[in-house]
Amino acid sequence: MRRDRPIAAAEPKLLSGGNPQIPKGDGDAPVQAYIAAMPDWKREVGRYFHIHEDDEMDEDLLAGWLRQAAALPGEDLFS
């Protein structure tokens, strides 16, 4: 049977952790598609961690993230 109307794009599959499965790609479009497909409860966190390549790095914030990650049990980030 022939369809005269376009087929709607399927919603991205959500993986077990609630992360959307988005095809790999370059540039900002895949990142924006990933954030848009995140469940509502994760979307704000996704925008918070969204860092552009040309943005100036907040070194204090990055150092804080690294300290927190290094303090996790079983993590050996700096060896």
Cβ proximity of 10 and 20 under 8 Å: no
Q: Is the pLDDT of residue 51 over 70?
A: no
Whole-model pTM: value is: 0.47
- Residue 79, in any domain of the structure: no
Domain that holds residue 23: 10-74
Per the domain annotation, does 5 fall within a domain?
no
**CB neighbour class for 39 (10 Å; exposed up to 12, middle 13-18, buried from 19):** exposed
- Report pLDDT for 60: 92
DSSP H or E stretch at residue 48: helix 40-48
Considering its fold, how many domains does the chain have in total? 1
Residue 44 resides in a domain? yes
Instruction: Tell me the per-residue pLDDT of 2-50, one tens digit each, with 9 for 90 and over.
Output: 555 544 557 788 888 888 898 888 888 888 888 888 888 777 776 766 6
Kindly state whether residue 14 falls inside one of the protein's structural domains: yes
Q: What is the pLDDT of residue 65?
A: 85
